[in-house]
Amino acid sequence: MILLEEFDNNKEAVINPNDFHDKIESMPEVAITCFSHKLFDKIVAGGKCIKIAEIHNTGESKNVYEIEYNNHKFALFKIGVGAPVAVGDIEDMNAMGVKKFIVFGNCGVLDNSIDDCSIIIPNKALRDEGTSFHYMEPSRSVDLNNKYVLEFKEILNKLGYSYTEGATWTTDAFYRETRDKVNNRKREGAIVVEMEASALQAVCNFRKCDLFIFFYAGDSLAGEKYDKRSLSGDIKLDEKSRIAYLALELASKIDKD
């Protein structure tokens, strides 16, 4: 626990994002990102996209695109899976000029009343990963989505989407989601589980960026047996692609606000 309590608020580290990325003057202020490479590729193929930059992880280079929608231009990139990689991507994009991030992706449900592929708006993340503790003081949880919730709900209501609100459990170790841990997190109020939300909010708070994150329901850990439901990127891809336009609609509302 000592390591998790050793928070250092100094904004300058030994290695910093601007050691690798310069600010790009033409970089849009708002960026949209998802975790699924199949969904990302479908968005790029169907949109007005041009490549404007790259971000790099170990063994992988990822294109950053400018996408045009509703006469607005946004950055579009695929964020890495898992808190450390995802936070690194946010750091890199922020160094290049992004100030507002809209993140969406799959999550596991802890309540079978949450329909497959339905929308979840998380309001709090239980911190069960290590990355966030390098960006904020130790705490059991972090509040999510301090901005843009009303704007997003307006979009959902207009387009006829139902949604569920509640806490998420952010964990590094999906193969260690034991039945006892699932039940404990449910008692703490978690309705879904994923791997990045608490860390993404922590880094955005630390760098003074805006973050809005939402999920679409995937696999279920709620029953006696694990149910993959639509976890695979191939399943219900058209439906997931329509969900991506919710992010574009929100981006249009918050651009230049």
DSSP letters, 212-257, are: EEEEEEEEE-SSSS-B-TT-STTTTHHHHHHHHHHHHHHHHHHTT-
- The domains of the chain are located at 26-254
CATH of region 26-254, choose from 3.30.2320.80, 3.40.1500.10, 3.30.230.10, 3.40.50.1580: 3.40.50.1580
> Among 13, 197, 12, 22, which residue's Cα sits nearest to residue 92?
22
Strand partners, 60: 57
Tokens of 212: 């809005």
pLDDT tens per residue, the chain (257 residues)?
677 788 999 999 999 999 999 999 999 999 999 999 999 999 999 878 999 999 987 778 999 999 999 999 999 999 999 999 999 999 999 999 999 999 999 999 999 999 999 999 999 999 999 999 999 999 999 999 999 999 999 999 999 999 999 999 999 999 999 999 999 999 999 999 999 999 999 999 999 999 999 999 999 999 889 999 988 888 899 999 999 999 999 999 999 76
Q: Is the pTM higher than 0.85?
A: yes
> Among 145, 235, 252, which residue's Cα sits nearest to residue 197?
145
- Rounded Cα gap, residues 214 and 30, in angstroms: 16
> Among 202, 200, 244, which residue's Cα sits nearest to residue 32?
244
- Per-residue pLDDT tens for 2-39? 777 889 999 999 999 999 999 999 999 999 999 999 99
Strand partners, 165: 121
**Whether the Cβ atoms of residue 39 and residue 233 lie closer than 8 Å to each other:** yes
